[in-house]
Amino acid sequence: MAGTFKFELVSPERVLLSEDVEHVVLPGVDGDLGVLPGHAPLVVTLRPGTISVIGGAKTRKIFVKHGFAEFTPDTLNVLAEQAVSLDGAERSEIDGLIATAEQELADASDDGKRFMANSALDALRAL
Amino acid sequence: MASLKDLRNRIASVKATRKITQAMQMVAAAKLRRAQEAALAARPYAERMSNVMSNLNKGMTDGGGDSSPLLSGTGKEDVHLLVVMTASRGLCGGFNSNIARKARADIIRLQNEGKTVKLLCVGSKGADALKRDYEQLILKKIDFKAVKRISFAEAEGVSKELLAMFEAGEFDVCTMYFSEFKSVMEQIPTGLQLIPAKFEAADDDDAPKSASAAAIYEYEPNQEELLDFLLQRNIGAQVFRGLLENGASEQGARMTAMDSATRNAGDMIDDLTISYNRQRQAQITKELIEIISGAEAL
């Protein structure tokens, strides 16, 4: 499908990204979602993982944690408590995130938390 | 009457004080700008969050589903937890005491109504102010003195704490006290109820639009789970907002306080200089009279 839609990534501290894109892949709790322009209105919680912004010369990846996405046919808003761009991220930064996720996995008290921590780990180790 | 030397010393010391207050004022002005920017940048997140939540909430009430205890409360309101947010540093005019006063008024009101009150102090100055009367009510003190720049991580820590306590049934109603930043001159101590969550009245403005939007949204996993997730996240967002507003208010209050302190010091120096000069002149006159009358006596 041709055309673009407006993608905004907002963290509690500021608006991290606001631009027109063609295709975004989100890590939904129940599985990954690819978003193209004209998507049906939907609100979805995200599991910790990477958002891929596809379009232009290369695909950009952003790691998000504790977030949710809201889309209408021509906009996509992602609100995430933690968002780290993985383009040009230092190896040590990623290692830091992995360590945090491992810690969370160790501390996880129920299945829900364990699932979240595991998903973060999987996403980060895949890098 | 103070001697000339005393006056000279006092003038020197007031001048030194003025230098300090002037420097503090300039530092506060610079920090204020940064704090204001941070508070502004944080706004979109809170707005979107409350938009989605009020949409969801409307959909839920229409559907008649069970709402979360974070929204509807525990059914009682016997135990109130007051989160009092103040600065960690003083010398900012009435900033800390205004917040503490507002909290204290509510503590007295709630206690008169026969409710149990618990306190959680964020920022050491508020704890100091309330310690005198209500030390046994303070459950915990959190201090961000060592933190240079408030980030969401701090707010998340506080919100985790609150949620854990709420789940353990330690309180029924949670209210957060902070100072809302209106302008450099004006900061309003505010009490904001966090649990059960209240939606801001401002939402009513775009109610028709969002109501129609609510009708067409689909939700994944489902409305209940989503709302529950959002309500938990919302606590963090609100705490973060409180911290940022407080940060900006603190710097604003300090700037105004230091500005007037600088001006007062200036006035004081003028007064002291006048009396110093007068006294010096009086002394010269006195010495002259002594010499002249000595000469006349010869």
* pLDDT mean over B198-222: 55
> Which pair of structure tokens corresponds to residue A5?
């839609």
Q: Is the minimum CB–CB distance between A72 and chain B shorter than 8 Å? A: yes
> Which pair of structure tokens corresponds to residue A92?
């040590």
Per-residue pLDDT band at A97 (split at 50, 70, 90): confident
CA distances (Å), B104 to each of B79, B116, B127, B293, in order?
16, 14, 12, 69
Q: Annotated catalytic sites of B, by residue?
A: 92
Angle, in degrees to the nearest 10, between helices B223-297 and B4-41: 160
* pLDDT mean over B212-218: 59
Tally Cβ neighbours within 10 Å of residue B291.
10
Q: Which residues in chain B have Cβ-Cβ distances shorter than 8 Å to A28? A: 220
State chain A's mean pLDDT as an integer. Answer: 81
d(C-alpha B32, C-alpha B72), whole Å: 37
Judge contact between B4 and B237, C-beta under 8 A: no
State chain B's mean pLDDT as an integer. Answer: 85
CATH 2.60.15.10 is right for the domain spanning A5-85: yes
- pLDDT tens digits for range B60-74: 665 445 567 777 777
Residue B216 is predicted with a pLDDT of 65
Please provide the distance, in angstroms rounded to a whole number, between the alpha carbons at the two ends of chain B: 33
> Which pair of structure tokens corresponds to residue B90?
């003083």
* pLDDT mean over B6-19: 95
Per-residue pLDDT band at A28 (split at 50, 70, 90): confident
Residue B205 is predicted with a pLDDT of 43
CA distances (Å), B40 to each of A6, A106, B258, in order?
21, 37, 24
With a cut of 90, say whether residue B25 has pLDDT above it.
yes
With a cut of 70, say whether residue B196 has pLDDT above it.
yes
- Interface predicted TM-score (ipTM): 0.78
Q: Is the minimum CB–CB distance between A41 and chain B shorter than 8 Å? A: yes
Q: Which residues in chain A have Cβ-Cβ distances shorter than 8 Å to B242? A: none
Long-range contacts of A97-102 (CB under 8 A, 24+ apart): A97/A63, A97/A124, A98/A124, A98/A125, A101/A48
CB contact under 8 A, A45 and B56: no
d(C-alpha B285, C-alpha A67), whole Å: 82
* C-alpha gyration radius of chain A: 15
CB contact under 8 A, B45 and A10: yes
Verify cis geometry, omega within 30 degrees of 0, for the bond prior to A48: no
Q: Is the minimum CB–CB distance between B237 and chain A shorter than 8 Å? A: yes
Minimum distance, in Å, between the CA of residue B221 and any CA atom of chain A? 7
Tally Cβ neighbours within 10 Å of residue B138.
17
Minimum distance, in Å, between the CA of residue B157 and any CA atom of chain A? 12
Ranked by mean pLDDT, the top range of A63-77, A102-116, B165-179, B251-265 is B251-265
3-state helix, strand, coil in chain A (%, to 5): 25, 45, 30
Q: Is the minimum CB–CB distance between A15 and chain B shorter than 8 Å? A: yes
CB contact under 8 A, A43 and B45: no
d(C-alpha B33, C-alpha B41), whole Å: 12
Judge contact between B7 and B272, C-beta under 8 A: yes
Percent of chain B topping pLDDT 90: 34
Q: Which residues in chain B have Cβ-Cβ distances shorter than 8 Å to A17? A: none
Q: Out of A80-94, A112-126, B197-211, B263-277, pick the least confident.
A: B197-211
The runs of H, that is alpha helices, within chain B are 4-41, 43-63, 69-72, 95-112, 124-134, 152-167, 207-216, 223-297
* pLDDT mean over B155-181: 88
The closest CB to that of B233, out of A13, A40, A66, belongs to A66
Residues present in chain A in total? 127
CB contact under 8 A, A44 and B220: yes
Model confidence pTM above 0.90: no
With a cut of 90, say whether residue B288 has pLDDT above it.
yes
Across A51-77, b (16+ Cβ under 10 Å) vs e yields bbbebeeeebbbbbbbbbbbbbeeebb
Q: Is the minimum CB–CB distance between A111 and chain B shorter than 8 Å? A: no
Please, what sign has the CA dihedral across residues B277, B278, B282, B283?
A: negative
Per-residue pLDDT band at B23 (split at 50, 70, 90): very high
> Which residues of chain A form beta strands (DSSP E)?
5-10, 15-21, 23-28, 31-35, 42-46, 49-54, 60-72, 75-85
Three-class DSSP category at B193 = strand
CA distances (Å), B152 to each of A65, A82, B179, B191, B238, in order?
13, 9, 18, 21, 11
d(C-alpha B156, C-alpha B88), whole Å: 19
For CATH 2.60.15.10, list the domain ranges present in chain A: 5-85
- pLDDT tens digits for range A60-92: 888 888 888 888 888 888 998 888 887 766 777
Q: DSSP of B141-183, one letter per residue?
A: EE--TT-SS--HHHHHHHHHHHHHHHHTTS-SEEEEEEEEE--
d(C-alpha B64, C-alpha A108), whole Å: 33
Please, what sign has the CA dihedral across residues B158, A65, B179, B246?
A: positive
DSSP code for B205 = G
CB contact under 8 A, B226 and A43: yes
Per-residue pLDDT band at B264 (split at 50, 70, 90): very high
CA distances (Å), A28 to each of A5, A23, B31, B48, B152, in order?
19, 15, 39, 19, 23
With a cut of 90, say whether residue B138 has pLDDT above it.
no
With a cut of 80, say whether residue B32 has pLDDT above it.
yes
d(C-alpha B25, C-alpha B255), whole Å: 5
- pLDDT tens digits for range B224-240: 788 888 888 888 888 89
Beta strand B173-181 pairing with A5-10: unpaired
E strand or H helix at B139:
strand B138-142
Residue B290 is predicted with a pLDDT of 95
pLDDT: is A98 or A58 the higher one?
A98
* pLDDT mean over B254-271: 95
